Amino acid sequence: MNVFKFPINNFSPVDEQIYIHLKNIIRNKEFENIKIFPTPRDLAIQIKQSYSDVMSAYRQLEVEGYLKKQDDIFHDGEYLLILRC
């Protein structure tokens, strides 16, 4: 099962839905040995949503300490999952 595929509805902002889904994946430990999240561009393509919506969700997760940017290239960098106990 691919945890990065999920439905998007028309009832709330897309970036908020992406953020909530990714945060739930992390909090519920639904990932299977995921240490590096897909790049924002790759995830946008995979879930068929805009790059800016995915970036917004990733930025919020980074601010909250769930993800950390791995390299200096801002837009296509990989994000590391930060496991909280």
Q: What is the pLDDT, as a whole number, of residue 74?
A: 46
Which CATH architecture describes the domain 22-81?
Answer: Orthogonal Bundle (1.10)
Confidence of residue 12 (pLDDT cuts 50, 70, 90): very high
Q: What is the pLDDT, as a whole number, of residue 79?
A: 64
Under 8 Å between Cβ of 36 and 43:
no
24-82 pLDDT, tens digit each: 888 887 666 666 678 888 889 989 999 999 999 999 998 998 887 766 544 555 666 55
Q: From residue 40, give the alpha-carbon distance in Å to each of 11, 15, 19, 46.
A: 23, 12, 12, 10
Indicate yes or no: pTM above 0.85. Answer: no
- Kindly list the strands in the beta sheet with 67-69, ordered across the sheet, starting from the edge strand earlier in the chain: 36-37, 79-81, 67-69
Domains of the chain, residue spans: 22-81
**Angle of helix 51-63 relative to helix 40-47, nearest 10 degrees?**
130
